[in-house]
């Protein structure tokens, strides 16, 4: 297993991520432009040539960056997936820090991801419901 990471490309959304969201039966972003930089502000991890996991990093006008839309390859070996997730999250945290952010926020409703982030030093906040409205 040789893990590598690279920035998300425009093609990753249609060629990889949409399929992953469908495989998991998860909600996906309503449209590509809902994502930061039209889906290119984030990273994807590979095990040699096999994509493992990806996430997006939103910048804010505060000291908070937001890691979200964390998704993985449903067909990838679970025992190695944690190493990929470790690389993904630590890389996005480093990017956020280098951009001047002091905090990283994440949200999700998947029990395994909640457990992962809790064990990685993230504090659990209040439970909320995500609501989205298109305004134009």
Residue-wise pLDDT for 41-53, tens only, equals 999 999 999 999 9
Q: What is the pTM of this model?
A: 0.91
Rounded to 5 degrees, what angle do the CA atoms 14, 19, 20 make? 120
pLDDT in tens, 56-73: 999 999 999 999 999 999
| pLDDT recorded at residue 78 | 72
Cα(101)–Cα(59) distance, rounded to whole angstroms?
A: 8
């Amino acid at each position: 297993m040789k893990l590598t990471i690279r920035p998300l490309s425009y093609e990753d959304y249609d060629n990889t991520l949409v399929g992953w969201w469908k495989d998991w039966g998860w909600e996906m972003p309503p449209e590509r432009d809902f994502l930061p930089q039209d889906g290119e502000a984030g990273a994807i991890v590979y095990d040699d040539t096999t994509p493992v996991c990806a996430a997006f990093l939103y910048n804010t006008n505060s000291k908070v960056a937001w890691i979200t839309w964390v998704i993985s390859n449903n067909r990838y070996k679970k025992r190695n997936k944690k190493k990929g997730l470790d690389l993904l999250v630590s890389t996005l945290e480093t990017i956020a820090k280098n951009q001047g952010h002091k905090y990283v926020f994440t949200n999700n409703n998947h029990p395994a991801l909640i457990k992962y982030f809790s064990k990685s030093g993230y504090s659990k906040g209040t439970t909320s419901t995500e609501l989205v409205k298109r305004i134009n």
